[in-house]
Structure 1
Amino acid sequence: MIEVRKVYKSFEEVEVLKDVSIVFEQGKTNLIIGQSGSGKTVLLKSIVGLHEIDKGEILYGDKNFSAMNFKARKEIRKEVGMVFQGGALFDSATVEENVMYPLDMFTKQTTEEKIERANFCLNRVNIENANSKFPSELSGGMRKRVAIARAIVLNPKYLFCDEPNSGLDPRTSILIDNLIKEITEEFQTTTIINTHDMNSVMEIGDKVCFIFKGEKYWEGSSQDIFDSDNQELNNFVFASKLTQKIKKMRS
C-alpha cells in the first residue's frame, strides 16, 4: 500500500498539487487520470521521489518516504519497478542486458543468477529468443514488454507505469493492460498507472483517481464512473466516443 497525505507541490509561483490525499491499494491496479496539465504526472513523480513535495506525507506501507534521506530512500527504491512512457530502454544494450540492469545496480548475484532471473521475467512477459537483440530491432509492443520485464526483475512491491500504452495500437494496448493486471495480481504489487487511455480505465481500473487542476476531484472503481455525478469527471471521461457509447448502452 502507498498512502499520499495532504500533499502540496508548487513550481515557482504555480501550485500544481493542492491537498491531495489518496490510498493506493496492494494487489490492485490504481489508475491516475486527468487532462494534460492537471498534475497527474507531477503526482506520480512526487510519489517516486523525482519531485520533492512542499508539504504533506508519502508513505510506503508504514514508512514515511517523504521524510527519508537519500540512503533510506535507496532501500525503498529496491522495492520499486518503473515502466516509463517511452520504455526508456538503453539503445546500446541488448534485451538481456536491459533487463539485468537493476540486478547489476542493486544485487550481488552472480552473472548466471542474473541471466536466469532475466530469462524468467522475459518469459513472464512472453518474450522469447530476443535476448541478444537491441531495442531498435523490436516493435513498440515488444519494447514495452521488455520494459515491464525490467521493472519486475527485482520482484518489486511497488510498480509504477507512466502512460504504458503511449504510441501503441489498440490491440497491443489491450495486451499490455492485461499483462500489467496479471502481474499485479500474481505478485500482489501496489501498481500505480498514470494514463489518459479510457480503454485502460474501463478494462483494468480497480481504483481510479481523477485529478483536476491539481486536486483530487473523484475516486472510485471503473464501474463507479458511470454512476458519478461529478461534472468535471464526466466531461473528461465521456469526451471519448467509446465511453459515450458504453454509457448509452448502460442507460
Structure 2
Amino acid sequence: MKTFFAFLKKENMELIRSGRLALLLLLFVLFGIMNPAIAKMTPWLIKMMASSLENTGLLITEIKVDAMTSWTQYYKNIGMLLIIFVLFVSNTLTKEYQKGTLILVLTKGLSRFKVVLAKTVVNMLLWTLCYWMCFGITYGYNAYFWDNSIALHLFYAAFCYWLFGIWILSLVVFFSSVTQSNTSVLIGTGGIIIVLRLLSMFSSTKKYLPIKLMEGFSLLTADAYVKDYNIAVIITIIFSLVCIGCSIISFNRKMI
C-alpha cells in the first residue's frame, strides 16, 4: 500500500502545483455565493427595469424572493459546474499516455490497478470537496437571508446530484482507460449521457437511469418523493462500481 499512497500523494501535489485545485475551488465558491446573491438582487433588478418596461405597457408586480429562489439558481448552475469539472479532469490518464510518465511509474513496481484507483480517488474526492463546499455556501447564505425549511428533502436531493457526478467521473475513468485522447474521453462520456437522455424520454425506463438523479429539485418542491429516486440511486452506484472495475481490467490489458 505504500506505493499506492505515494502515487496518491503525487497526484494531490500535481493538483496543487498545476493550479487546478485552486481554480476549481475558486469557481465553486464563486457560484456558491452567486446563487443567493442573484436571488437577493432579483427584486432590485426588476425594480430597475420596471420604469423602462412601463413605456411598453408592461406592468411588473412585486417579486417575492425566498430560499427556493436561490435553490432554483443552484440547480441551474450546478450542471454547468459539473461540465467544467469534467473538462478539467478528463485528461486524468490520457496526459500520462502522451507524456509517457506512466512507464517510469509502472517499472518501479506500482501495480496498474493502483494507478486507476488513485486517479479515481483523487478525482472523486476533488468533486466531493468542490460540490459540498458550493452546496454549503449556498445553504449558509440561504439560512442567513431566508429559511431553508421551505425546501423539502434538501440534503437527499443534493446527495442525488453528487452521486450523479460520481457516476460521470467513473465514466471518465473508464473511457480514459480504453482510449488514448482527451477528445475521445469527452465524446464517449457525452455519448453515454445523450443515449440515457433519449431513454429517459420513456417514463417506464426513466426511474432506473442515473439521469433521474439530475432532477433532485423536484424533491424540494414536493413534485416528487424520495422513493422515486431510490432505484436510480442503487443502479447508479452499481454502474459506477462496474465502470471502475472495467477500467481496471481495460488498463491492465492496455499497451502503454
Quick check: TM above 0.5?
no
Question: Whose helix proportion is higher, 1 or 2?
Answer: 2
Question: Whose strand proportion is higher, 1 or 2?
Answer: 1
Larger Rg: 2
Q: Under a length normalisation based on structure 2, what TM-score does the superposition of the two structures give?
A: 0.26
Q: Under a length normalisation based on structure 1, what TM-score does the superposition of the two structures give?
A: 0.26
